[in-house]
Structure 1
Amino acid sequence: MASRLLFRYARLLSRASSQASHASARLLPPVTGSAELQRAKGWPWVPDRLMCETKPKEDVPIAIPPRTKLDTLVENAATPEDVLSAWKQHPGNSNQAAIALVAWIQLTMKTKGKSDQHVPELMKDPRLQNMMNTLSKGVSWAWNNSLVSVLKSLWLINVPSTDLVLSAVLNELLWRSRRLTYRQLCYVADWGAHRKGQQDVVLVNAVVKQLELRWTEITDARTVSALMSKADRMTPVLMERLEDKALELAEGFTGEEIRKVCVSLATQRRRSVPLLRALSYHLLQKPSSEFTTPLMIDIAFAYASLNFHNTLVFQRMASELLPRLPELSPEDIVRFAKSLGFLKWLHMRLFEGFAEHYTANSQKYEPLQVCNLLRTFARLGFYPSKEEEFYSKAHLMLEESFSGLDPFLQTDVVWSLCVLQQAKPHYLVALLQPNHVSKLSSKTRSVGSPSQAVSYKWKLLQIAATLRLEHPGSSDTSLSVPSVSAWSNSAKVSAMKNSLRDALQSFVGGKSEAVRTAVVTVYGWTIDGEMVVDCDNKPVDLSMLKAPHLMSRGGGDEALPAGARRLAFVAWEFANFGSKSKDLLGCFTMMKRHLQLAGFIVVEVPFYEWLDLKTDWQKSAYLKDKIGKAVAEEMAK
């Protein structure tokens, strides 16, 4: 109803306006002015076109200046001298000066190379000085595109911030920042991201602010990837909006743009799971030609940094990388292997290829690269099929460079060799000497964190356990072990471990003398529960039995009864396994091996079985069944 009334009212106003205009045309000029004044007071002006009509407004043509001889000569110039000669013969306005200056810089860089050592001498040419003076004096009349191009060119040749032309261009673009197109703003933000000059920083900050306000104007994936790759200069608010825009435009990203966005997210520690999933999906649709080696290495690095798992992407990268392994450099091999190690993803064929690459090109590997490769193999628990050939070359390199390694790296490498069962006794003895222990402790206090200090202390205990259990009689460790045995475990206990420990107490009917929980051992491992069972698998009192494995030297003086067995209950959580696998990671296989060598029967409780148990009765029945199976397997051996 209201729309109808508005329509009729508009039509009446249109007619009244039309009649008034015809009447005024018949009046004399003085009267005409009076009539116009009265109409303006009584009636608002309404156009002849009705409000319901949707006729588009005609575009006003843009006045383009005529093309001159200077424009033609600059466009066809082949050398910097051609540009300067054209300017001397046909000097132009400030906009033409900007275009000519850009052309001169581009041709100079093309002929003289990207080095800017010749540029200061060349810029003393009077013709060039005249061109730059024309631009600086009339900078307000130059077009936006020309100014943006001039800024880029001056930045490329590292013109000092005190230069009058650069200063004038920066000031003018700062004033025009609201009138620049979004693409021009992106160019300035991209090129000036790492500039340190005061005016440069002011301009880039103003441009970033405009980008933040006008982010909805982005329509292409290239702009998003370019901006996100300069994330260190973007505000957190703008990064969030760019992530939203990237999610919207993810389908149009090329492989290289996906790489830029993923690396940017990794460097900023921005774990945007929806965006990573979208990028992963569209990456899988790309042809093999876009799966370049740098792309795959950077994607693996980004996913490892963000702890983002996508098995399909890993499998695709492994299949693309396998045929290229002989062509890869040691740096590429180590970087890719290290990223997969952090992701806990083991591809047997690919890692066999890594080992073969090292065996065939060991002379090209640096000691640090070999150390990182060994650490990755130990983390995943990977054992090369040609172990003897691989480790013979690795040991040869370590013998030559071991003494020059950092104490942290020495400890990591030897601990990794312990996991892989390749540690030689002299490595272990060297790391358990008091001087190395004190050196490691002092360096941890100065440059490390408390958690790192605890981690290295426990690694030393596990190295000592390897020497004692796997190389008995090779050295007297009584002097070195007490120096580290006083350290305590400060790790937080998970819900699953607490649940298992409570279930063990319930299993023995609450008798504290029949079970120990959270047992800290001298071997550097903490077991969730300890129990001694007789020949009928019934718990016995262990408070009076000898316990040489206890850190606190607790226990009694009695020997283990005949037929009795000592059990160690270990909860294997999700983090103890490889990605999409039920295989334990390397350090946990070493833990199991050490406990078995110390005389325990290891009762393994994996998370995928324990979490299905809901009631106390189910947990007790499960523990009873696991004890029976573990004892039976030990007897079968």
Structure 2
Amino acid sequence: MTTRFLGRWARLLGTRCPITAFSGSTRLPPLPAPVESARVQSLGLQLHSQVRAMCEGRSLIKEEDDSNLWFKRTELEQLVDMAGSPEDVLKLWADKGGSANQAANSFIKLSKLSMQKGGLDCTDILQDPRLLDMLSKVSSEVGTVWNGNLVSLLRALSQLGVAPGAVVMHTLQTEALWRVRRFTYRQLVFLADWVCARHSPQRQELQSGVVKQLELRWTELADARTVSVLMAKVGQLSPLLMDKLEDKALELAEKFNAEDIRRVALSLASQGRRSVSLLRALSYHLHQKPSKELNTPLLLDVAFACGKLNFKQTQVFQRIAAELLPRKAELSSSDVMRCAKSFAYLKWLHLPLFECFTEHYLENSQKYSTMQLCSLLLSLARLNFQPSKAEEFYSKVHEALKGMLKDLEPYLQTDLVWSLCILQQAKPQYLQSVLDPVFQRKLTEGNPSRTENYRLKLLHVAAAAQLENLCPSEASVILSMPVPTITQESRPTPLQTSLKEALQSLTENNGGACRTGVNTIYGWTIDGELVVDSDNKPMDLLAIEAPHVHIGGGGSPMPEGARRIAFLVGEFPNYSSRSKDLLGRFAMQRRHLQLAGFLTVEVPYFEWQELKSDWQRVAYLKDKMGKAVAEEMAK
């Protein structure tokens, strides 16, 4: 508004000048014309300079007749640029002195020199009288420091170790807050990077002002690097700005280099923003990058971001695996753990890559910490992966866990033993450690839902102990306890509801011939249960004893030739990505129910969804039952 007013005032004032005579029909005398023209041009330049000065508020340097002085570097600044040590900079200031802007340049050079010398200790320098004189100069004449130098000066003083609560820092931040609307967008980004790096009450007001300006002027964004830096540094402070940055990132994704892609992906993951369109664009452009740009930390960070956001992109994961396989010798134990964990979260089993991870452990087992080994085993169990050199691999694992298990945090110890049960590598001493009543009491503290979840895992461990005959005496106590309510409160899925209806049609709506949603003493839920005679005809199971449930079984023993059949629904999350292999948890469920005397009939979603009518579903179940009985008889 002020700029428009001054511009109109200048034009109005210009109409009163003799320059208007040149645009009309009035003719000038021939001789005075050059003099008058020169006078009018001089007046025009003076008006332009005055308007410009008033529009800019405070002039950053004193106006001179020679306009080129604005771009000229002083002798002191040139000498400071060539200085090779902090002492040289301080000596130049003591010899020549200078303005506050030149002092700012000197501070910036001091900061660069200290960083080049590996974080030089600046304690003595900060007590130097020459540096204190520079600080005093900057503090007293802060209004004459240029915008770019002001922003860089804040960072330079922080790097030199000036306290955040120092008077000069407060003065500079106040000045920056007053000028925040006059900074260029790049200067705002640079300032935001500094102000967000260290949160403090003194910087809160400046941070709010900078973020507000970035929100208002986001359309000025033009380069990919600035977008990626803002998303990483400022995005979490302003959801509104983050929305705009995502749009800009999608627009500029083609210009991102590999490092920008990594930075954007990590910022999305840290804020939990699953922007599918942006993630797809980043995945596409990452896949196009040459191998020399894809270093190992970058690949691991991208895998982590995809795992955190549950974003699955086949080509990217195949590229990550292909890049990591030849680098096995370069990988550290932390790298293997991180990558395995990310792929496990995504339920993405890449057989050569996980074979590479187990071989890496065999070659470098002494470099793995207990936590890293536990994380690797949890990842293998989630994907139900068994290495080709299983005997050699697990012998080293058991050797590393010897004497270390009892020192683990209770929840981690439960997860580890549960994972070893999935991998069929649990030893009696492992099971006894978590089935001990004293240990179980340690799991009762904390979030109730978490407690119930681990109570369920203990039931699975006890089931492995009893059904696999590892330590049945310790398991009998915990298996006699009621099943956690967490398994009883889950709502049935559409597939489970559809299976229940089909089973009712199969048994001709005989309520005593089938059970659905059966909570077993082993912690597993059976989606549907039937007892069939030797002719595969459903029988009344309510009168037959049911040792697998706490309540609901009858008193009659199983008739000769009868078989128990358990129907297990295979939902989409039960399988590895892009395969029909069950995840470790559900593979252990099937194994335990088979050991408990059931014939398991799996009903996977990808087969059930092809059945459109009720009679097709009933025929499908009958066919599955017949195959299961035939396989059991063949054994």
Q: Give the TM-score of the pair, scaled to structure 2.
A: 0.87
Residues 253-284 of structure 1 deviation map (CA, whole Å, 9 limit, x = unaligned) = 11111111111111100110000000000000
CA–CA distance in structure 2, aligned partners of residues 89 and 631 of structure 1: 99
The aligned counterpart of 1:92 is 98
Contact 1:195 1:201 in 2 (8 A): no
The aligned counterpart of 1:607 is 605
Amino acid at match of 1:435: V
Residue number among 324, 330, 334 corresponding to 2:333 in the alignment: 330
Contact 1:521 1:549 in 2 (8 A): yes
CA–CA distance in structure 1, aligned partners of residues 470 and 558 of structure 2: 22
CA–CA distance in structure 2, aligned partners of residues 307 and 236 of structure 1: 21
Specify whether residues 131 and 420 from structure 1 end up closer, same or farther in structure 2 by C-alpha distance, changes over 3 A only.
Answer: same
The aligned counterpart of 1:119 is 122
**CA RMSD in angstroms, aligned pairs only:** 2.1
Amino acid at match of 1:114: G
CA–CA distance in structure 1, aligned partners of residues 73 and 295 of structure 2: 45
Residues 160-187 of structure 1 deviation map (CA, whole Å, 9 limit, x = unaligned) = 1343332222111111100100000000
Is the counterpart of residue 269 in structure 1 residue 272 in structure 2? yes
Is the counterpart of residue 573 in structure 1 residue 571 in structure 2? yes
Contact 2:383 2:584 in 1 (8 A): yes
Residue number among 369, 376, 380 corresponding to 1:373 in the alignment: 376
CA–CA distance in structure 2, aligned partners of residues 161 and 343 of structure 1: 43
CA–CA distance in structure 1, aligned partners of residues 25 and 263 of structure 2: 67
- Correspondences of 1:9-48 after superposition (within 5 Å): 21-23=24-26
Contact 1:173 1:203 in 2 (8 A): yes
- Helix, strand or coil: the match of 1:605? strand
CA–CA distance in structure 2, aligned partners of residues 179 and 220 of structure 1: 20
The aligned counterpart of 1:52 is none
The aligned counterpart of 1:75 is 81
The aligned counterpart of 1:522 is 521
Residues 521-574 of structure 1 deviation map (CA, whole Å, 9 limit, x = unaligned) = 11111011111112222111112111111132x222222222221111111010
CA–CA distance in structure 2, aligned partners of residues 623 and 474 of structure 1: 34
Deviation at 1:25, TM superposition (A): 6.8
CA–CA distance in structure 1, aligned partners of residues 471 and 265 of structure 2: 52
Specify whether residues 592 and 167 from structure 1 end up closer, same or farther in structure 2 by C-alpha distance, changes over 3 A only.
Answer: same
Residue number among 426, 431, 446 corresponding to 2:434 in the alignment: 431
Amino acid at match of 1:64: W
Is the counterpart of residue 536 in structure 1 residue 539 in structure 2? no
Unaligned 5+ segments in structure 1 are 1-16, 27-59
- Correspondences of 1:220-299 after superposition (within 5 Å): 220-231=223-234, 233-299=236-302
The aligned counterpart of 1:141 is 144
Deviation at 1:154, TM superposition (A): 0.7
The aligned counterpart of 2:392 is 389
CA–CA distance in structure 1, aligned partners of residues 441 and 165 of structure 2: 54
Deviation at 1:231, TM superposition (A): 4.1
CA–CA distance in structure 2, aligned partners of residues 476 and 287 of structure 1: 57
Q: Which moved more, 1:143-152 or 1:127-136?
A: 127-136
Contact 1:544 1:555 in 2 (8 A): yes
Identity %: 52
Residues 46-93 of structure 1 deviation map (CA, whole Å, 9 limit, x = unaligned) = xxxxxxxxxxxxxx9775164432232222222222222322332222
The aligned counterpart of 1:194 is 197
Unaligned 5+ segments in structure 2 are 1-19, 30-65
Deviation at 1:97, TM superposition (A): 2.0
CA–CA distance in structure 1, aligned partners of residues 214 and 157 of structure 2: 23
Residues 431-471 of structure 1 deviation map (CA, whole Å, 9 limit, x = unaligned) = 22221222212x2xx2x3x3322221111111111111111
Specify whether residues 610 and 361 from structure 1 end up closer, same or farther in structure 2 by C-alpha distance, changes over 3 A only.
Answer: same
Q: Which moved more, 1:137-146 or 1:64-73?
A: 64-73
Residues 313-349 of structure 1 deviation map (CA, whole Å, 9 limit, x = unaligned) = 1111101001111221111111110111110001111
Is the counterpart of residue 104 in structure 1 residue 102 in structure 2? no
The aligned counterpart of 1:42 is none
Deviation at 1:505, TM superposition (A): 1.1
The aligned counterpart of 1:512 is 511
Q: Which moved more, 1:198-207 or 1:520-529?
A: 198-207
CA–CA distance in structure 1, aligned partners of residues 168 and 279 of structure 2: 44
CA–CA distance in structure 2, aligned partners of residues 473 and 581 of structure 1: 35
CA–CA distance in structure 2, aligned partners of residues 419 and 68 of structure 1: 74
The aligned counterpart of 1:497 is 496
Q: Which moved more, 1:392-401 or 1:487-496?
A: 487-496
The aligned counterpart of 1:349 is 352
Amino acid at match of 2:500: R
Deviation at 1:24, TM superposition (A): 9.4
CA–CA distance in structure 1, aligned partners of residues 217 and 427 of structure 2: 63
- Helix, strand or coil: the match of 2:538? coil
Amino acid at match of 1:191: W
Deviation at 1:199, TM superposition (A): 3.0
CA–CA distance in structure 2, aligned partners of residues 108 and 291 of structure 1: 31
Deviation at 1:616, TM superposition (A): 1.3
CA–CA distance in structure 2, aligned partners of residues 497 and 536 of structure 1: 26
Deviation at 1:488, TM superposition (A): 5.9
Amino acid at match of 1:123: L
Specify whether residues 430 and 168 from structure 1 end up closer, same or farther in structure 2 by C-alpha distance, changes over 3 A only.
Answer: closer
